[in-house]
Structure 1
Amino acid sequence: MTLYLGIDDTDTRESRGTGRLARTIAAELARSYTVTGVTRHQLFVHPAIPYTSHNSSAVIHIREAENRAAADVFATAKELMLADFIEGSDPGICVAADQDIGTDLCLFGFSAKKTVVTQEQARSLARQAGIRLEGLGGTEDGVIGALAGIGLAASGNDGRFVQKGTTRDLRGNQTIAAILASGVDRVETRGGAAVSDGIVSLRKFPKPACVGGEAVLFVEADGDAYRDIVIG
């Protein structure tokens, strides 16, 4: 079983970002659980939607055999978020097991990428599914992105990993073998051709897209080597 912990709207333009907070929470949860990655999910950018910079949410992926872990994961993350509350932010938090995330929640996530959705919609869907969803301050608009994030993550086909294994340790020119060893599942061209050998010039660190539930790093030819493409 996989637990998905979604957070959103935890920052301001002057503060640390939601992604950094998600990685801090992931590090704490990793003391007790198997954290398999942190993904970023891009949501709709529109004048009617308040957001800090890019309107994205973050989801922590946790492999856990027992559903009762959801309560502890939620409580741990909530405590860390409240301890690091940024004045002016509107944070939301959500946790759900993969078996509790149905088609309706996935569709809500994809709707949140292209239309304006509401707190009322998010809270109603969470109640119907029996999912823990809570606002932790401000307007609590972060509940929208938190719920949308877990729907998108559970779909297995959205977003990109901003933490997966030891990917954040890689910089500069790296072999395909090193990239795969760090936690990336596959390296491919945008045309879908597998790349199993060679050197990749990284823009920063590998940020593989989530495709079919796997971490796929897309690359393009660059002379005799490759360079990574950030997708998702």
Structure 2
Amino acid sequence: MSAPILWIGLDDLDGEDSEDTGSIASKIARQLRLKGYNVEMFKLQLPKLKEIGFDNDNAAYAIRVRMDPGEAMDFVGELVMDISSIESDPGLAIVMDRAFPLAVKLAKASLNSKIPKELVLEVSEQTGIQLLELGGNGDGVIGAFAVAVLASVGCAEKLQIDV
């Protein structure tokens, strides 16, 4: 049996004097390639709302890869903790194969308004999405959830990864 397709969402990895989240996500994708995995990368533009602290771009990123979910959580989680800014609030989300409609509905709502982290945690638990808060206040799981979910249903921009 082959490993499932994973959609690994990443958000809020950057800080004041660090690389942006997209650059850090690209580094993680390259590390997965070096381990022999075929990867694709996706971007989701998040809203620039007053109640959401954001950098210039306010985008979240997803990596599509076929691998064991536990291995992905360990490998990517460790890389995020090593590479992300100490000032960040990094979050990681993993969707296996394709997100359920309930998760898609919530992720789409996040494109227009701030959604509470508690609701993301609740819906993730109900729909089997794995989340990791990897530092700070962990609010990055909101964007990570949104990009992983929406990329899994074809609603995120596919990017080229520089090798």
Give the TM-score of the pair, scaled to structure 1.
0.64
Unaligned runs of 5+ in 2: none
- The equivalent position to 1:10 in structure 2, one of 4, 13, 30, is 13
8 Å contact from structure 1 (residues 13, 53) kept in 2: no
Residue 24 in 1 paired to residue 27 in 2?
yes
* Partner Cα distance (1:16, 1:24) in 2: 11
Larger radius of gyration: 1
Highest relative contact order (Cα 8 Å, sep 6+), 1 or 2?
2
Equivalent residue for 1:33? 37
Indicate conservation of the 8 Å contact 2:95/2:152, yes or no.
Answer: no
Give the aligned residue type for 1:150. A
1:106 aligns to what? 104
Q: 1:162 aligns with which of 142, 153, 159?
A: 159
**What do you get for the CA RMSD once the two structures are aligned?**
1.6
Render the CA deviation track for 1:19-42: whole Å, top value 9, x for unaligned: 11111111122214221x111101
2:66 & 2:126 partners in 1: Cα distance? 24
The list of structure 1 runs, each at least 4 consecutive aligned residues, that deviate by more than 4 angstroms after superposition, is none
Tell me the distance in 2 between the aligned counterparts of 1:52 and 1:136: 19
1:163: Cα distance to partner?
A: 2.1
Where do 5+ consecutive residues of structure 1 fail to align?
170-232
Residue 90 of structure 1 deviates from its aligned partner by 0.5
Paired letter, 1:97? M
Written as runs of structure 1 = structure 2, the 5 A alignment for 1:78-89 is: 78-89=77-88
Match of 1:91 in 2: 90
The correspondence for 1:49, drawn from 43, 52, 60, is 52
Residue 45 of structure 1, CA deviation: 1.2
- Identify the residue that residue 132 of structure 1 maps to in structure 2: 130
Decide which structure has greater strand share: 1
What's the CA shift string for 1:31-84, capped at 9, x where partnerless? 14221x1111011210001112222100001135xxxx0110111001111112
Q: Distance in 1 between matches of 2:84 and 2:10?
A: 12
User: 2:48, 2:58 within 8 Å by CA — same for their partners in 1?
Assistant: yes
- Percent of aligned pairs sharing the same letter: 29
> C-alpha separation between the residues in 2 aligned to 1:97 and 1:114?
25
Aligned length: 159
Q: Which amino acid aligns with 1:128?
A: Q
